[in-house]
Structure formats: structure tokens, C-alpha cells
Amino acid sequence: MMTTQITLDDYWMGRDKTYPKQLTDEIHDNAIVTVSKVNLVLWHATKDGVVLIANRRNSLVNSGWRPDIVNAATPGAATHSPHLTAHACDISDPTGSLDKWCLANPEELAAIGLWQESPASTVGWCHLQTIPP
């Protein structure tokens, strides 16, 4: 059965073990908040009929925390990406249905404390972040 929530392990994508020296207490705490807020959005969206589709790794997370070296190797990643500090999460969204839901429900995002990157810039995933752009 497909999950409609993400875990901290999903969010780390193994990078907590590969880059432990870069994983500070602050980044860890930020990740807990980010995962919690993203899960609230996923709960609301699926309650409203959005069907989530996992990526090829059978995960909803396309990108979670990015250590410096991972961010530098990520095509199109901003130099000061909120992924570096665990303030952002990219959720698999190949049909764009989650992006559409977020655009139609800005009050839900605001109440949860998340901001969405423009879907035109994130085709195939929905970028959500816990800090204003």
C-alpha cells in the first residue's frame, strides 16, 4: 500500500549516514519541523482526493536535506537553497496534482507555515519550504 506520509528517514535519503559531520543539531531540528509540516499538507491534500505517486525509489521525497556537496551537484539548485538547512522538501508530483492543490489552497499552506515554489519551476515535483522565499 502506498504511503501518504513521509518519515525522517525518507527525508534524509541516507545522507544522515553519508554526511554525518554536516548534520548539525540545528539541521536535525529543522528537518523534524519540515517533515511535520509537509505531512500536514499531504494529509489535507489526500483528504481532498489528491493521489500521491512515489518516485522511482518508491519514495514521495525527491529531495530532502542536501549537504553542500550534494547541493552543488544538483542541477538547478540555488547556491543558498533552503534544502541546505533542512527547511525544504521536494515531493514527487509527476501529474502536478499536489502543486495544483497547493495553488488552490494557499490558506492551508499559510496556516501550516509553508511556502510553495512556482510549479513552472518544479515540473515533476512540488517544492515546499518552511521559510519565506
pLDDT in tens, 44-68: 999 999 999 999 889 999 999 999 9
Q: Give the pLDDT confidence score for residue 1 in this predicted structure.
A: 45
Q: Give the pLDDT confidence score for residue 3 in this predicted structure.
A: 76
Q: Is 130 exposed, middle or buried (0-12, 13-18, 19+ CB in 10 A)?
A: buried
Residue ranges of the chain whose pLDDT lies below 70: 1-2
22 by DSSP, 3-state: which? helix
Q: Give the pLDDT confidence score for residue 2 in this predicted structure.
A: 61
DSSP state, residue 60: S
Beta bridge partners of 124: 93
- Burial string for 40-53 (b: 16+ CB within 10 Å, else e) reads bbbebbeeeebebe
Q: Give the pLDDT confidence score for residue 53 in this predicted structure.
A: 92
